Amino acid sequence: MAINEQIETLCKELQLSTLAKTHHELSNTAAKEGWKYSEYLYEALKSESEGKAERSKSTLTKMAGFPTIKTLDAFDFDFTVGVNRRQIEELSTMEFVKKKENIILLGQSGVGKTHLAIALAYQAVQHRIKARFITAADLIMQMSQAKKEKRYDAFIRQAVMAPALLVIDEIGYFPMSKEDAHHFFQVISRRYERGSVIVTSNLVFSQWSGIFANDKVVTTAILDRLLHHSHVINILGDSYRLKEKKEEAMNDSDLYTFEPKKRKNK
C-alpha cells in the first residue's frame, strides 16, 4: 500500500477528516520550502484543528434553529434609536454568556429586535457556544406537549438547559394561560444564574402582567430573575419593514403612472 493511502487510512481511523484531505498538499509544500519536521507537524495539526472548528460551527448553526441568518454587520445602527453600537460590540464578545447575564430587547414590531437577537446568537455560534433560537409561542407549545407525554423533565434538560444561550423571541405577541405562564416561569427560573437568555418583546415591563394571565406574582418572579444581571435595550424608531416598503413604493412609483390616451379627433 502506498504511503499516501496508509496516511489516509490512519486519518480515517483517528477521525482526522481534514488532514486526510490536506496532507498531500502539505507534504508537497514542506518539501519545496524545506520545513522542519516540527513545522510540518504544526501545520498538519493546525489544518485539522481549523477543520474541526468549521465543522463544529456548522453543526451548532444547524442545531440553533435560526429562522434565517442575521449578522451584526447587516444591522442598521443609524436607522434605530436606543441601540448603542459600542454596547452591542461589547456584547458580541460573548462575555455576557460567560457571566450568565441576560439581554432584553424591547420595542415595537419591525425595529430590529429579532435581527439583533439572532445576530448575537449567531456570533455565539462563531465562538463555538451552543445556542438555541425559539419563539415564545413554540416554546410554550412544546413544553405543554412534553408535559402531556410525560417527558417534561427531559425537555427541560435537553431544550431549555443544554444551550449556553437561549433566545426566546416575541414575548407578548399572544396572551398566556396560567399554565403557560407557569411553563415560562420554569424556563426563566431554571436558567437563572445558570445560563444566558435573550428575550424580545413588543411590550414594556408594566404591560407584562397581561402576557402572563394577569398573574402579578408570576410576572414579578419572572421579571425579578430576568432583570437581575441583565442588559436592557429599548429600541425606538420606525419599522424596518415599513421603511423597505416605502422605499420600494418610491422606486416603483413609475409603475403606477401613465399618460392618458388622447382622444382622436373625428
Give per-residue pLDDT as tens, 152-166. 999 999 999 999 999
Q: Does the structure show a pLDDT above 90 at 240?
A: no
117, with CB counted inside 10 A (0-12, 13-18, 19+), is: buried
Q: Are 201 and 171 in contact (CB under 8 A)?
A: yes
pLDDT for position 160: 97
* Apex 98 CA angle, 96 and 103, nearest 5: 25
- Least confident interval from 72-81, 231-240, 242-251: 242-251
- Least confident interval from 41-55, 67-81, 138-152, 246-260: 246-260
**130 vs 166: CA distance, rounded Å:** 9
Confidence of residue 11 (pLDDT cuts 50, 70, 90): confident
Q: pTM for the complete prediction?
A: 0.82
Give, for 264, the enclosing helix (H) or strand (E): none
pLDDT for position 176: 95
85-93's contacts with Cβ under 8 Å and 24+ in sequence apart are 87/231, 87/233, 88/116, 88/120, 91/120, 91/231, 92/120, 92/123
Q: What average pLDDT does the chain have?
A: 89
Q: Is 112 helix (H, G, I), strand (E, B) or coil?
A: coil
pLDDT tens string 192-220: 999 999 999 999 999 999 999 999 999 99
**258 vs 260: CA distance, rounded Å:** 6
**144 vs 254: CA distance, rounded Å:** 52
pLDDT tens string 20-66: 889 989 999 999 999 999 998 999 999 989 899 999 999 999 999 99
